[in-house]
Homo-oligomer: A and B are copies of this chain.
Amino acid sequence: MEYKVQVIVKPLDAIANPEGKAVERALAALSFDRVTKVRAGKVINFTLEADHPEKARSITEEICQKLLVNPVMEYSEIQISQSGN
């Protein structure tokens, strides 16, 4: 079975986020002054072949652990849906 996976990787609250700060300053310069707490992270989408949804999730968690997420600075949110085809 084919699954569509989306992993969102965000900086932990306690960690400084210079990219978010840069966006916040740029928005203020563009007069968007009601925007606060800007944080930037990354999103990774992929297709995964697995026998069942639980297996797709456990593989994705392993992928996060081994490659995508640095747990000292980041956390991840995983969304998995069955692929249309």
Q: Which residues of A contact B (CB under 8 A)?
A: 8-10, 20, 23-24, 26-27, 30, 32, 34-50, 59, 62-63, 66-68
Contact = CB atoms under 8 A, between A and B. Distances in A.
Q: How many copies does the complex hold?
A: 2
A27 B43 CA distance: 16
Contacts of A40: 42-45
Contacts of A30: 66-67
A39 B35 contact: no
A50 B34 contact: yes
Contact of A45 (B38, B50, B68): B38
B37 A46 contact: yes
A22 B72 CA distance: 22
